[in-house]
Structure 1
Amino acid sequence: MPVPSPLGSRQTVAAMLVLTAVTGLVDAVSYLRLGHVFVANMTGNVVFLGFSITPGSGLSAIASAIAIGGFVVGAFAGGRLAHTLAEVGPRRWLGIAFTGEAIILGLVALLTGTGVLPFGGGAGYATIAVLGAALGVQNSTVRHLGARDLTTTVLTLTLTGLTADSALAGGPGAQPHRRLGSIAAMLAGAAAGAGILRWSPTAVIALAAVVVAVVAGAFATAGAPSTAASR
């Protein structure tokens, strides 16, 4: 059962769109610097895992499997946290969950910046696993929050709903602002990540950590819960 957000409807939507941009930022680093693998988009990794069977594909089955494994561990941790703390208080739960994600991303930025965690070679698998865990926490938390049309990662259903539910398709023609916002946020995050990546991949991860920390602070200091965001 979705947990009501402690923020108002507009603030919750804004927070989810910011987290969607974070997905674009981090996946830009993983795909462009860690060997064509995603740490948030698990559908892509499953497909890559299948493609990697073909010799000369240039894709690493190990990298995809590690990303999926890290993501699953993070999603499990996020789920346990949600079931433990969500009923006690959404503010506390969301604050802790997103603070945890921000700390993980911040540690990755610190360790990659100092060379402890590399972006290349076999040791880069550790970076993939940790980033996957961070985004697993995010996705699990957002799933339990249940903000409609705002998954922060999967845009396939968003695009399907945007077109299939439109008036032209004979649908109800509901306002598409959230869906369009999700697409724009992902695109902006990916573009910004790719651009900053030319200067420093560590800077992209550090930016993602700061942004998630801001979202965590917004939820942790929110007022009384409101059901408007989950309607």
Structure 2
Amino acid sequence: MLVLAGLGISDEKGITLEELEEARNSDLVFLELYTSIWHGSIKNLERIIGKEIQILKRKDLEEEVHKILKLASHKKIVIFVPGDPLVATTHSSIILECMKSGIKFKVIHNSSIVSAICETGLHIYKFGQTVTIPLRERIIEANSIINAIIENKRRGLHTLCLLDVDVENNRYVEVKEAVRFLLENRVIDEDEKLVVGCCLGSVQKRILWKKASEVLLLNLPLPAIIVIPGNLHFSEREMLEKL
């Protein structure tokens, strides 16, 4: 059996009682850290569950996922994932492979950035298509990103901009870099106000509503997201003005 368990968006204290029980009753416990930034402590998580944790790399869950599935066919394994386990499409594909192979699986959901953005005061039902601002070396075609933002704006919807990461190679899109990308591609201008959320779900959280030109002057911590607001409801505007 394979259990995909989300750790939430903060640290090891985000583990749920259900996840704790599953981990303690498992044969093997893994932790995937390549899809997002996680500020937790592996040693503390091991202490909480009482078991050793093995770290998975990208190739372990993509090119060599068959090895994980083989283990899950006769052992109970738990794979911890930062945030919610099914927000990353890689993990959805693992569930699909379990279905094809007849392997039992369980998904335990947790907090994710998709729900945490509501702390900004923006209404979740007013968001359009989500985009990811890519690392410079991964920019092959920016048109799909630009078109999604333009279409969201046309419909008066907010755009959640995730920031790309390459944890294994210690490469991250900084907030300033993402804003420059948006400016260079002319989907925003320097006077346009953006919502920026940093370290949401933790005691270090910061939520800002500032002009793009002002955000460029700041050194903001990661993980972070940027929201390009659409048409604001009066209650959304009131919340943002209190930031």
**TM-score normalized with structure 2 length:** 0.24
Bigger fraction of residues in helix: 1
Structure of higher RCO (CA pairs closer than 8 Å, 6+ residues apart): 1
**TM-score normalized with structure 1 length:** 0.24
Computing the radius of gyration from Cα coordinates, the structure with the larger value is: 2
Bigger fraction of residues in strand: 2
